[in-house]
Structure 1
Amino acid sequence: MITSIFSKSKPINIILVVVFLVLLFILSGYTTVFNNLDAIAGGAAKLFITLFSVFLLDFIISKNSLTKRNSYAIMTFGLLFGLFPNALKYSDLLLSNLFILFALRRIISLHTRVSLKKKFFDAAFWIAMATLFYFWAILFFAILIVALIYHSQNDIKNTIIPFTGIAAVAILLFSYNIIFYDQYLRATNFDLSASLDYTPYNSAESIIKLTALFVAFIWIIVYYFRTLGDKNKKLRPSYFLIAWSAVIAILIAIIAPIKNGSEYLFLFAPFSVIMANYIEIITERWFKEIFVAMFIIIPIVSLLL
């Protein structure tokens, strides 16, 4: 039933995801969101960024034909927030993820071969912006390097242009610091902290969630690569870039300083695209329903433990 609702790309599907996220946001943070006016404003900003990310992801997918005409990706995107609701609590992380989505929008659209230089500049600019809010987003520059290999067309200028995007962000940062703090750089501009301490995962809730996530990811990524040969040859680099994005997101989660589920936020978008492509090829309707229902049932079960 769930997959049949989202089997077509309809406005009502986005509305359903939006309603789900609004309810999730209220239920997961009701003890702090309504404490005072500042908390309400901060909560509204986080919710806006989250909802905007949904629309942006849907735009990226439809514009680049990353899935067929369905809403499986945004459905998965919403369900992943249900699996890891702590991702809704950090405005810096949400902003960084939003900027990465902007960067991926430009990188994935490189397959059109239109305005390559502008897209390389924009992608570098947005990744650099994301790094200001969450330092380890810097690892997404690896995706840009892969994109350069795929799409640079042996033009040396294309390899230089991303540095101008980074320089633009550096100028903005320096200007901001000089105006407000009378110095070029501040120690607080970048939080380089990382952690390989996984003791926060030593709970039944975390073990169940992470097991479900990674078992599903390994399962669907295998089918994802197996079906790449059937994809439009022109779009194959875009599909590979999505997979690379997922790998980078997992690396970020591995070294993230805070391990409460929010560190997987960068994985949500690429996982959603990969998941949508997998659901499309499942012929057994009952298996589709069970596979999707797992992402609904597990958060509920984990709350009861």
Structure 2
Amino acid sequence: MLTSFFSKSNPINYLISGILLCLGYFLAVITSETEMITTVLVLEHIFYLGLAVFMMLLLDFVIRKNDLNRQNTYGIVIFSGFLIFFPAAFLNRELLATNMFLLLALRRILSLHTDKNVEKKILDAALWISLAALFYFYALLFFIVLYYAILQRSQASYRYFVIPVLGFFGVFMLANTYYLLTEDSLIWLLQWQKPIGMDFSVYNEISLLIPTAIFGTFLIWTSTHRLLKLKTVSRKDRPNYFLMLVVLLICLFLGMSTPEKSGAEVIFMLGPLAIVTASYLERLDEFLFKELLLWGIVVLPLVLFLFVR
């Protein structure tokens, strides 16, 4: 049974989740690739596939380091299943890189509940968010998550609020220097912020409509359940428990702000939703219902690919 299998953190669980991601990436490529196969193209695909696997492992590290879930691998298998639902996410290089940097920032933000190296953690998070914003302007919205985490601290020095600004301007000046040296121009500033796309017609296609409906159901159901259970969480765990809902909300806005809608924009919500869904599964007492949910997350993406796309 899947729930029993992934309730442990054996190495085989990571291997299976990685194979699931590789399969999803392969299916996404063979259905969309029109370029002639070259060595450079193959190496490029290997690199971005490695990036997707790295994000899965990074998510697992974030979960374990901050005790967001129990000692299981629900989070990574849910992340892999959700990602396969939206194969366009594998192929959007900018959003893939942006999401990786935001996960690195989230790792530092979630660790702010401890009193160790607080200023360094804030600076690291600000740098990662700023790097993400170089790929996707609206990633700057993630600074809201950082400042919210700072405000959650019982003792918040004024320095904590200044550090993110300094981190952003440090990356911003380095980016300007790079473009001046390579292009002798700052024209990139005019192209940095792209208008928000409001054309959601792509979601009328059955291949995106069904995954979005399933994904949206998980989003609403598990988030509502998490909010209702907030009072039952210990005082120690409550800050990060609620912070994940804030992250999920900001990631929803990040996805809606993309210039073009293709399904790839959902990638921002995959990590936090995987954490929230894993937490929901842990609290479920109905074994059969839990089993059906996990099987659905793993099998449905492949079924939809074979019979709908």
TM-score bracket for this pair, using the shorter chain length: over 0.9
Unaligned runs of 5+ in 1: none
Letter in 2 for 1:5: F
The alpha-carbon deviation at position 154 of structure 1 amounts to 3.4
1:260 to 1:298, Cα distance in 2 relative to 1, 3 A: farther
Alignment check: 8 A CA contact 1:86 1:262 kept: yes
Q: Distance in 2 between matches of 1:122 and 1:232?
A: 28
Q: Is the aligned partner of 1:271 residue 2:273?
A: yes
Task: Pick one of 223, 227, 230 that aligns with 1:225.
Answer: 227
1:211-250 matches, cutoff 5 A: 211-250=213-252
Alignment check: 8 A CA contact 2:75 2:278 kept: yes
Q: Distance in 2 between matches of 1:148 and 1:231?
A: 21
Q: Distance in 2 between matches of 1:210 and 1:203?
A: 10
Q: Distance in 1 between matches of 2:195 and 2:120?
A: 33
Local SS of the residue matching 1:232: coil
Letter in 2 for 1:126: W
The alpha-carbon deviation at position 54 of structure 1 amounts to 1.0
Alignment check: 8 A CA contact 1:208 1:298 kept: no
Equivalent in the alignment of 2:28: 28
The alpha-carbon deviation at position 301 of structure 1 amounts to 4.4
Local SS of the residue matching 1:35: coil
Local SS of the residue matching 1:16: helix
Local SS of the residue matching 1:95: helix
Q: Using the TM superposition, name which of 63-72 and 8-17 deviates more.
A: 8-17
Local SS of the residue matching 1:157: helix
Local SS of the residue matching 1:233: coil
Q: Using the TM superposition, name which of 173-182 and 67-76 deviates more.
A: 173-182
1:8-19 matches, cutoff 5 A: 8-19=8-19
Task: Pick one of 173, 184, 187 that aligns with 1:182.
Answer: 184
Letter in 2 for 1:28: A
Q: Is the aligned partner of 1:284 residue 2:286?
A: yes
Q: Is the aligned partner of 1:252 residue 2:260?
A: no
The alpha-carbon deviation at position 2 of structure 1 amounts to 1.5
Q: Distance in 1 between matches of 2:36 and 2:125?
A: 37
Q: Distance in 1 between matches of 2:41 and 2:277?
A: 34
Across the aligned residues of Structure 1 and Structure 2, the Cα RMSD in angstroms comes to 1.8
Q: Distance in 1 between matches of 2:55 and 2:209?
A: 27
1:300 to 1:53, Cα distance in 2 relative to 1, 3 A: closer
Task: Pick one of 113, 117, 138 that aligns with 1:115.
Answer: 117
Equivalent in the alignment of 1:149: 151
Q: Distance in 1 between matches of 2:107 and 2:88?
A: 25
Letter in 2 for 1:2: L
Alignment check: 8 A CA contact 1:54 1:77 kept: yes
Q: Distance in 2 between matches of 1:38 and 1:272?
A: 33
Local SS of the residue matching 1:183: coil
Q: Distance in 2 between matches of 1:138 and 1:237?
A: 22
Q: Using the TM superposition, name which of 250-259 and 127-136 deviates more.
A: 250-259
1:132 to 1:114, Cα distance in 2 relative to 1, 3 A: same
The alpha-carbon deviation at position 277 of structure 1 amounts to 0.4
Q: Distance in 1 between matches of 2:36 and 2:234?
A: 49
Alignment check: 8 A CA contact 2:86 2:208 kept: no
The alpha-carbon deviation at position 185 of structure 1 amounts to 4.9
Q: Using the TM superposition, name which of 72-81 and 207-216 deviates more.
A: 207-216
1:195 to 1:62, Cα distance in 2 relative to 1, 3 A: same
Equivalent in the alignment of 2:80: 78
Equivalent in the alignment of 1:128: 130
Q: Distance in 2 between matches of 1:168 and 1:234?
A: 34
**TM-score computed with the length of structure 2 as normaliser:** 0.93
Q: How many residues align?
A: 305
